[in-house]
């Protein structure tokens, strides 16, 4: 499935009084990765909204394996793991630079909805095609 990796840095506003990353910062980093992914596919949030479509989260989950601290840097990787009629599941991990195991893993589920009726709608066909796994092109002998 489609994936993207973006850098992050834990800044002063991202930590609690002890210097540990504050949980909303994790979801901000994940949202930045998601936004970058959708923009790279030609579907920034502004386009979806202009088309009358929103994608609210209906489930968010995070598991902390090791703490992240003030001034840590790393990468947030986001992977599309399930695309259904109007639902999308994205898994993520945040990995500190220089480490081989993730500090945080989790997933989120969003549903595409009509912004007026707030009822589920199909994921736009063009976006659904862009979210599909990248396919290798096989060369044929002439």
pLDDT value of residue 134: 61
pLDDT value of residue 49: 96
Per-residue pLDDT reduced to its tens digit, 10-19: 999 999 999 9
Q: Domains in the chain, please, with CATH?
A: 3-131 (3.10.129.10)
Predicted confidence (pLDDT) at residue 137 exceeds the cutoff of 70 = no
pTM to 2 decimals? Answer: 0.89
| Structure-block tokens of residue 118 | 């707030």
pLDDT value of residue 92: 98
3-class SS shares of the chain: helix, strand, coil, % to 5: 25, 35, 40
Per-residue pLDDT reduced to its tens digit, 54-66: 999 999 999 999 9
pLDDT value of residue 108: 98
Mean pLDDT computed over 102-129: 97
90 strand-pairing partners:
80, 108
Residue 119 burial class via C-beta count within 10 angstroms: exposed 0-12, middle 13-18, buried 19 and up: exposed
pLDDT value of residue 132: 81
Distances (CA, A) of 78 to 61, 89, 106, 114: 13, 10, 10, 25
pLDDT value of residue 86: 98
pLDDT value of residue 1: 72
Per-residue pLDDT reduced to its tens digit, 20-43: 999 999 999 999 999 999 999 999
């Amino acid at each position: 499935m489609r994936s993207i990796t973006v850098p992050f840095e834990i800044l002063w506003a991202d930590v609690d009084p002890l210097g540990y990353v504050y949980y909303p910062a994790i979801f901000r980093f994940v949202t930045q990765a998601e936004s970058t992914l959708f923009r790279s596919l030609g579907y920034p949030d502004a386009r979806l909204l202009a088309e009358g479509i929103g994608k609210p989260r209906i489930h968010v989950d995070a598991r902390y394996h090791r703490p992240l601290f003030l001034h840590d840097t790393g990468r947030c990787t986001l992977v599309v793991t399930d695309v259904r009629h109007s639902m999308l599941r994205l898994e993520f991990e945040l990995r500190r630079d220089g480490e081989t195991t993730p500090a945080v893993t989790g997933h989120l589920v969003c549903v595409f909805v009509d912004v007026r009726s707030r009822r589920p709608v199909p994921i736009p066909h063009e976006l659904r095609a862009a979210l599909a796994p990248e396919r290798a092109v096989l060369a044929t002998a002439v």
